[in-house]
């Protein structure tokens, strides 16, 4: 599927209207089917779908390791995934994604243990790198972009999506496929940081979440409970650190 579509539009500027061609990100509904039974639907772009499926399962704590996955099969708009020891229960239904409407039922947050430290300069540099590598966003302005950074492997993996949740799922999945040590990795992305985003990071065991946007109070309290370093408003040469500031070297 093409990730970018061209459409006719009318541009209005300084009192004048002209015909123009605009680029739009191409999104569709994708279905994640677990063990031929449990299905969820997401609005997403059909790119890096295996990364998404793996990252989603880790971020929702449906699996704890990529080794639990037996098979991932992508057929059109269906992602069919087979995992060991899967059974539907209440814990698996209390997921943080918006598709199920269960975000308000997040009741517990495990603490993330990590010795990771990064410099302020690195954060400022990497928010610019994030923009530079956001190909679809540059063409359309219609995506969120996320990256997972692992300095041990010297890797910076970028993924985009119309959903900020799916963009982060994709980089978590990409990191898992590259055998990243999540306790020594961090996520930097474009988008707000509410509780349902921060819990995804905590469940994956990632110690730092950074963004050019703001956290909400639910994101702040979730980060406090999970010992996540929450960094917001990375713009120009400034940013705010809301929780666990010791991981940032000024």
Cα-Cα-Cα-Cα torsion 110, 216, 28, 57, nearest 10 degrees, comes to 0
Q: What is the pTM of this model?
A: 0.89
The answer to whether residues 122 and 243 belong to one domain is yes
Percent of the chain with pLDDT over 90: 82
Look up the domain containing 65 and give its range. Answer: 28-105
Do the Cβ atoms of 47 and 30 come closer than 8 Å?
A: no
Percent of the chain with pLDDT over 70: 90
Structure confidence at residue 103 (pLDDT)? 46
Residues of the chain with pLDDT under 50: 89-96, 98-104
Burial class (CB in 10 A: 0-12, 13-18, 19+), 234: buried
CATH number of the domain at 227, please. Answer: 3.40.140.10
Average pLDDT, the chain: 90
Structure confidence at residue 102 (pLDDT)? 43
Residue 111 lies in a domain: no
The answer to whether residues 176 and 221 belong to one domain is yes
List pLDDT tens digits, range 10-42. 998 999 999 999 999 999 999 999 998 878 899
List pLDDT tens digits, range 48-57. 999 999 999 9
């Amino acid at each position: 599927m093409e990730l970018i579509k061209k459409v006719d539009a009318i541009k209005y500027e300084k009192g004048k209207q002209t015909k123009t061609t605009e680029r739009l990100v191409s999104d569709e509904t994708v279905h994640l089917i677990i063990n031929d039974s449990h299905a969820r639907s997401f609005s997403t772009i059909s790119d890096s779908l295996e990364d998404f499926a793996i990252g989603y399962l880790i971020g929702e704590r449906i699996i704890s390791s990529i080794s639990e996955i037996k098979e991932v099969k992508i057929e059109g708009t269906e992602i069919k995934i087979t995992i060991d020891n899967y059974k539907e229960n209440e814990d698996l239904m209390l997921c943080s994604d918006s598709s199920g409407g269960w975000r308000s039922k997040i009741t517990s947050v495990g603490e993330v243990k990590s010795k990771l430290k990064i410099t302020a300069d690195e954060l400022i540099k990497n928010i610019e790198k994030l923009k530079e590598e956001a190909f679809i966003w540059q063409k359309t302005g219609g995506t969120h972009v996320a990256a997972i950074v692992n300095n041990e492997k010297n890797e910076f993996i970028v993924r985009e999506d119309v959903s900020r949740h799916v963009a982060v799922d994709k980089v978590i999945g990409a990191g898992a496929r590259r055998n990243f040590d999540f306790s020594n990795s961090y996520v930097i992305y474009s988008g707000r940081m509410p509780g349902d985003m921060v819990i995804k990071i905590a469940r994956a065991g990632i110690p730092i979440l950074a963004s050019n946007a703001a956290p909400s109070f639910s994101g702040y309290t979730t980060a406090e409970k999970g010992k996540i370093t929450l960094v917001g408003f990375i713009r120009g040469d400034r940013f705010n650190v809301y929780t666990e500031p010791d991981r940032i070297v000024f």
